[in-house]
Chains A and B, each alone.
Chain A
Amino acid sequence: MMSLKHIKSNYPTEAARSKEMATSSEELASQAEYLKNIVSIFDVGDI
């Protein structure tokens, strides 16, 4: 049953990494929105 202990010990790390990835994803989404806001001053119409 070393595997369960391994999983048990690994999951907090995985959870932290998942949170970190979620944070990075949110940051990326925010950055993308930020860039869209920056270029939104240009109205390119239907070109």
Chain B
Amino acid sequence: MKNLNISTKLIILVSLLIGIIITIGILGPSNLKKVNNGIESMYQNRVIPLEQLKNISDAYAVRVVAASHKARSGSITWQQAHNELNKAEQIITEHWEAFLLSEIDGEELRLTNEAKALKKDADKCTNDLISLLSLGEDSISVVKLGFYVDNYLYKNIDPFTNKIGELIEIQLLVAAEIKKEAEEIYSDAKTFTMIFIISAILIGIGLAIFIIRGINNGLKKANKIIGEIENGNLSFDIEIENNNEISQMLRRLKNMVTTLRNIVDNIIAGADHITAASQEMSSTAQEMSQGSNEQASSTEQVSATMEEMNANIQQSSSNAQQTEKMATKAAKEIKIGSDAVMETVKSMKIIADKISIISDIANQTNMLALNAAVEAARAGNKGKGFAVVATEVKNLAERSAIAAEEIDKVAAESVLTAEKSGKMLTDIVPNIEKTATLVEEISTATLEQSSSVDQITNAVEQLNKVTQQNSAISEEMASSSEELTSQAEVLKQTISFFQQDKNSTGNKIKKLSKNKFKASKPPQKNTTSKGKGFDLKLSGGNVKDDEFETY
């Protein structure tokens, strides 16, 4: 019975009550029909015949006897009495025939048959009186009427009216019997109905109490469970005993509690994951912010160094350009000098040629002085002064020859030196020209370096900008991570409203995640996954890194 559904129980209860009501409804009208039949029978067969008999008796007593006496005494006219008797005869005949049509049996039939026999005398008496009254009122007729009334009227009518009285009594007796039967039927029906009603009430109350207790207990249990859930307590077990609607509701509540437990488990696990990830991200962001700040400082230093280097390069470029100009000018001037030396050599050669003339003149002068000395010797004393002049001329000639020889020697050496200088100057010019070319190349390279340094400076400034942005983003991320940690803590505090069973573990979470919620698994640590960060790829693979030098 406990395993039956509430609807089934209610159907049984209602069916039982309906069955009882139907039984009462069937038996009640049946008994009522019996009573009604009795009443109908009593009315048709007893009350109406009783009225008929009473009317017959009254017709005899009031109309026949009384009219006869009144006519005899003169209270009414004979014609009136005649009419009364005719009327009485009509009433008596009408009611007697109607009486005979009613259901008559037993003692009543016997009395009726006796009354039939007696009625003939009564009818004859009535007819006789009508005949007498039809004669008209005269002294003889009055005597006859008086005689007839005194001697025949009561004698013929009373037996019939007495029999009518017996029939009336028997009508009352039969009516009393019918009444008694009706009372018995009523009593039986009342008892039966009361038993059925009491039984129905008792059964209904019993079943209702049973059903209400079942519903009430289930609802109390459900109410208690809902109250526990309302208070956030999920650490209780729900026992389900049977399989009715309340139990189905309790089963659904149990499933709901299980679902809520799993949700709470999963949310706590998720919040823990968020807390751990956000703390890790916060720590990383702070480290990255610190690194970015250091990088920003380094890039500023690099930028300053690059600016200084750019200034030095530009200074070197300027110096190289100036050197190139000077070298070009020097090459031109050296060429002019070389040309001048060559002209000098030519002049010296000419001088040397002229000096040989002086040497010839000195030799000829020496020869002339020698001849003069000879001539002076020949002249003796007279020639002594001339001899002295000749000697001096000879000395001058010799000294001129020596000087010319020395000059010639010096001129030869000077020519050699000048030629050597000219040759050296001629040899220097290509070198200076080459130097100018190299310096020009240095200047061009320096300009290129300056351009490169500008590019590097721009790149470093861009790097500095990105680094500062990274620093700001990192700080923002650190702040966001702290906010996430706070949010996760709020989430955990919110979900801590539900008191979890300590035995609930992540196994349920995985099962629920896969089957119930179709949620993605909590992400695992994936150090190989690519983020959206700014990757400069500075490590390895770039041979130009080797070109960096430490100054």
Flag whether B266 is at the interface (Cβ < 8 A). Answer: yes
A12 → B minimal CB distance (Å): 4
B87 → A minimal CB distance (Å): 95
- When A3-B302, A38-B267 are in contact, do A14 and B295 touch as well, CB less than 8 Å? yes
Flag whether B299 is at the interface (Cβ < 8 A). Answer: yes
Question: A28 to B263, Cβ gap below 8 A?
Answer: no
A38 in complex: contacting residue of B274, B517, B526, CB < 8 Å: B517
Chain A CB count within 10 A is highest, among B521, B533, B545, for B533
In the complex, A4 Cα to B306 Cα: how many Å? Answer: 11
* Nearest opposing residue in chain A for B280, CB measure: A24
B318 → A minimal CB distance (Å): 24
- When A4-B548, A12-B539 are in contact, do A31 and B531 touch as well, CB less than 8 Å? no
Flag whether A47 is at the interface (Cβ < 8 A). Answer: no
In the complex, A36 Cα to B551 Cα: how many Å? Answer: 57
Flag whether B550 is at the interface (Cβ < 8 A). Answer: yes
In the complex, A38 Cα to B270 Cα: how many Å? Answer: 10
A19 → B minimal CB distance (Å): 5
A17 → B minimal CB distance (Å): 5
- When A1-B305, A19-B530, A32-B274 are in contact, do A24 and B522 touch as well, CB less than 8 Å? no
In the complex, A23 Cα to B533 Cα: how many Å? Answer: 10
- When A27-B523, A28-B274, A28-B278 are in contact, do A10 and B295 touch as well, CB less than 8 Å? yes
Question: A37 to B518, Cβ gap below 8 A?
Answer: yes
In the complex, A25 Cα to B526 Cα: how many Å? Answer: 12
In the complex, A3 Cα to B297 Cα: how many Å? Answer: 8
Flag whether B138 is at the interface (Cβ < 8 A). Answer: no
Question: A21 to B536, Cβ gap below 8 A?
Answer: no
Question: B298 to A20, Cβ gap below 8 A?
Answer: no
Question: A34 to B519, Cβ gap below 8 A?
Answer: yes
Please tell me which stretch of B139-147, B153-161, B281-289, B421-429 contacts chain A, meaning at least 4 of its Cβ atoms lie within 8 angstroms of it: B281-289
| Interfacial chain B residues near A19, Cβ < 8 Å | 527, 529-531, 533, 535
Range for the number of chain B residues in contact with chain A: 35 or more
- When A26-B523, A38-B517 are in contact, do A14 and B301 touch as well, CB less than 8 Å? no
In the complex, A7 Cα to B538 Cα: how many Å? Answer: 9
A3 in complex: contacting residue of B287, B291, B299, B470, CB < 8 Å: B299
In the complex, A20 Cα to B278 Cα: how many Å? Answer: 11
| Interfacial chain B residues near A5, Cβ < 8 Å | 548, 550
In the complex, A1 Cα to B550 Cα: how many Å? Answer: 5
In the complex, A20 Cα to B292 Cα: how many Å? Answer: 15
Question: B277 to A22, Cβ gap below 8 A?
Answer: no
B170 → A minimal CB distance (Å): 88
A21 in complex: contacting residue of B519, B533, B535, CB < 8 Å: B533
Question: B536 to A15, Cβ gap below 8 A?
Answer: yes
In the complex, A11 Cα to B271 Cα: how many Å? Answer: 32
Question: A15 to B533, Cβ gap below 8 A?
Answer: yes
B302 in complex: contacting residue of A1, A17, A31, CB < 8 Å: A1
In the complex, A18 Cα to B545 Cα: how many Å? Answer: 23
Question: B531 to A25, Cβ gap below 8 A?
Answer: yes
Question: B291 to A22, Cβ gap below 8 A?
Answer: no
Report B506-539 CB contacts with A as 1/0, cut-off 8 Å. Answer: 0000000100111111110111011111111111
Question: A22 to B533, Cβ gap below 8 A?
Answer: yes
- When A23-B529, A24-B280 are in contact, do A3 and B298 touch as well, CB less than 8 Å? yes
In the complex, A12 Cα to B535 Cα: how many Å? Answer: 8
- When A12-B539, A22-B529, A28-B277 are in contact, do A38 and B302 touch as well, CB less than 8 Å? no
A22 → B minimal CB distance (Å): 2
| Interfacial chain A residues near B463, Cβ < 8 Å | 7
A15 in complex: contacting residue of B484, B535, B549, CB < 8 Å: B535
| Interfacial chain B residues near A31, Cβ < 8 Å | 270, 273-274, 277, 522-523
Question: B288 to A21, Cβ gap below 8 A?
Answer: yes
In the complex, A37 Cα to B301 Cα: how many Å? Answer: 50
Question: A22 to B527, Cβ gap below 8 A?
Answer: no
In the complex, A18 Cα to B284 Cα: how many Å? Answer: 8
| Interfacial chain A residues near B477, Cβ < 8 Å | 21
| Interfacial chain B residues near A25, Cβ < 8 Å | 281, 531
Question: B267 to A27, Cβ gap below 8 A?
Answer: no
* Nearest opposing residue in chain B for A42, CB measure: B263
| Interfacial chain A residues near B518, Cβ < 8 Å | 37
Question: A7 to B302, Cβ gap below 8 A?
Answer: yes
Q: Which of B241-280 contact A (CB under 8 A)?
A: 259, 263, 266-267, 270-271, 273-274, 277-278, 280
Question: B525 to A30, Cβ gap below 8 A?
Answer: no
A30 in complex: contacting residue of B263, B484, B520, B537, CB < 8 Å: B520
Chain B CB count within 10 A is highest, among A8, A26, A33, A34, for A34
* Nearest opposing residue in chain A for B526, CB measure: A23
Question: B273 to A20, Cβ gap below 8 A?
Answer: no
| Interfacial chain A residues near B536, Cβ < 8 Å | 11, 15
Flag whether B294 is at the interface (Cβ < 8 A). Answer: yes
Query: Interface residues, chain B, CB within 8 Å of chain A?
Result: 259, 263, 266-267, 270-271, 273-274, 277-278, 280-281, 284-285, 287-288, 291-292, 294-295, 297-299, 301-302, 305, 463, 470, 477, 484, 491, 513, 516-523, 525-527, 529-539, 545, 548-551
The list of the 10 closest CB pairs from A to B, nearest first, reads A22-B531, A18-B533, A37-B519, A3-B298, A24-B281, A30-B523, A3-B301, A27-B523, A11-B538, A12-B539
A-B contact pairs, 6 of them (CB 8 A): A1-B302, A3-B305, A21-B285, A23-B526, A35-B491, A38-B266
Query: Interface residues, chain A, CB within 8 Å of chain B?
Result: 1-8, 10-15, 17-28, 30-35, 37-41
